[in-house]
Structure 1
Amino acid sequence: MTTTNLYAAYDPLAHIYNEDWALGVLKETIPALETLILPNLVKDTQILDIGCGTGQLAQKLIEKGYQVTGIDPSEGMLRYARENAPEAKLIFNDARLLDFSPTFDAVISIGAFNHVMSLEELTSVFKNIYQALLDNGTFLFYLFLEEEYKYNWDGKITGNVKEDYAWAARNSYDLETQIATINLTIFSLIEKTWQRLDSTILEKCYTKEELISALKKAGFSNIHSYDSHHDLKIAQMPGSAYFVCHKRVNN
């Protein structure tokens, strides 16, 4: 399956993410990065942003003096990223297909890994990231855990209406399969005519134990997790976490 086919469902989401969601994500992400990894990164550090989305985080890091490469498997997301982060190096690619030589001082990913639908594939992604990091490099990622899906993905509908588009999303979670579903409907005003588009996006829930095991298999060490609500005090509700680990050199 090609990158384009697999993530085509995300292209319609790009407008919504750029307009309605990105700033909220950024508001929580920057304090986490400033607490967990940025104090240890010198200016001009090379950072790889996996699942860079519409580019707001990449731009903020560039403004802080870092060099940022962003990858995303949605061309729709990258169209906005090119406008929002014009100085970033942006690549249309799937994290499962990454093949960088050791290049980056840090790799970050905010929310992308819930969209990798099997632990085997996620372990492969972690191995690709390990390869892309320089010795002693840092890997930070954020994702939802089951507490978030169980209590907040209960079938309720969210949405917004603006002059030229409107959207509604129903989120649900299956405890047995540990798969979450976003059923998205978008109405766009195109040449004075409203057009409807429906899209379904799937997410996979992993346990902390599964994630730590996959990181160890990829070679990472010094692995720590931080609850966004309880530990970092940046999320209103528990159920999401940041993981930080390192590519250590064996002396």
Structure 2
Amino acid sequence: MTTNTIYSAYDSFARVMNEDWGTEDSEAVLPDVEALFLKHLPQQSSILDLCCGTGHLARKLQDKGYQVTGIDGSSELLRYARDNAPQSKFIVDDARYFKLPASFNGVISTNYGLNHITKLEELTWVFQNVYTTLLSNGLFVFDLRLDKFYKKDNWNNSLIGNVQDEYAWALKRIYNPEEKIGNIYITIFELTNNNWKRSDLTWSVKGYDLEEVIFALQTVGFKNINYYNQEDISAHTKEANILYFVCHK
């Protein structure tokens, strides 16, 4: 097992994630976070935001009076996070290997950060780390895209992007259903000193099955495991492609 943390593939995209995605994504998930997570925690709870990205959700949590610590493997993402949520604490670390004492009432992970853990064994390590860092009766809530989501035509072989005055980016996504691995190919052009600089990077994601995720959670000790359709948490989960998992220590 290695504990080297190398997330430079996320550093180059940090500005785009901060400016194009951060605010919108955090606002989109906040109602579900409040319903599934915050209303079950004591006021002023200590919360760990795992794979916290640029800290937009951490900002919303700190503004509600929670004590927030964020973990992400990208130092550049956390540079933005410290500006966005200055009252929160941020740690550069790998979700697979981080070690913190049992000091959190809740752990949250949103925007499919855990899909970037591409081996079930390593996802189980993440669950174990979370379990260890939770206080007794602590709550763990996270979202995951299932294998069947990535097989959909509007994700697989799709191309998206945006153009701004100082940068432009394009992103192509390809999913291998046999390996259940998706590759996201990103090209960025950024204007620096009146010159356009090009960066190319690749992210990988894993499409998991519901049953293997539940088994991994149970293996490390989580109980009262429930899951909800992300598109509508009151709807039936049978046809859901993206789920929130809600688990208790």
- TM-score norm. by structure 1 comes to 0.93
Residue 228 of structure 2 aligns to a residue whose secondary structure is: strand
AA aligned to 1:131 is: T
Partner of 2:242: 240
- TM-score norm. by structure 2 comes to 0.94
- Is structure 2 residue 136 aligned with structure 1 residue 140? no
Percent identity between matched residues is 47
Distance (Å, rounded) in 2 between the aligned partners of 1:95 and 1:173:
23
Partner of 2:157: 155
- Is structure 2 residue 108 aligned with structure 1 residue 108? yes
Distance (Å, rounded) in 2 between the aligned partners of 1:145 and 1:34:
23
Gaps of 5+ in 1: none
Whether the 8 Å CA contact 1:117–1:203 is kept in 2: the answer is yes
Greater mean alpha carbon deviation, residues 37-46 or residues 130-139: 37-46
Q: Residue 123 of structure 1: CA displacement?
A: 0.6
Q: Residue 180 of structure 1: CA displacement?
A: 0.8
Whether the 8 Å CA contact 1:102–1:132 is kept in 2: the answer is yes
Distance (Å, rounded) in 1 between the aligned partners of 2:181 and 2:193:
38
Partner of 2:63: 63
Distance (Å, rounded) in 2 between the aligned partners of 1:47 and 1:121:
22
Residue 96 of structure 2 aligns to a residue whose secondary structure is: helix
Q: Residue 65 of structure 1: CA displacement?
A: 0.9
Gaps of 5+ in 2: none
Q: Following TM superposition, where does structure 1 have runs of at least 4 consecutive aligned residues deviating by more than 6 angstroms?
A: none
Q: Residue 23 of structure 1: CA displacement?
A: 2.3
Q: Residue 4 of structure 1: CA displacement?
A: 4.0
Given candidates 207, 210, 219, the residue that maps to 1:208 is: 210
Whether the 8 Å CA contact 2:58–2:85 is kept in 1: the answer is yes
Instruction: Trace 1:1-251 onto structure 2 (pairs within 5 A).
Output: 3-5=4-6, 7-110=7-110, 111-151=112-152, 152-232=154-234, 238-247=240-249
Deviation per CA, 1:197-232, whole angstroms, max 9, x where unpaired? 000000011111010000000100000010112434
Distance (Å, rounded) in 2 between the aligned partners of 1:222 and 1:22:
31
Distance (Å, rounded) in 2 between the aligned partners of 1:232 and 1:77:
33
Distance (Å, rounded) in 1 between the aligned partners of 2:176 and 2:28:
27
Whether the 8 Å CA contact 2:104–2:133 is kept in 1: the answer is yes
AA aligned to 1:244 is: V
AA aligned to 2:184 is: I
Distance (Å, rounded) in 1 between the aligned partners of 2:157 and 2:196:
26
Distance (Å, rounded) in 1 between the aligned partners of 2:234 and 2:94:
30
Whether the 8 Å CA contact 1:18–1:54 is kept in 2: the answer is yes
Q: Residue 41 of structure 1: CA displacement?
A: 1.4
Aligned residues: 243
AA aligned to 1:93 is: D
AA aligned to 1:190 is: T
Whether the 8 Å CA contact 2:148–2:207 is kept in 1: the answer is no
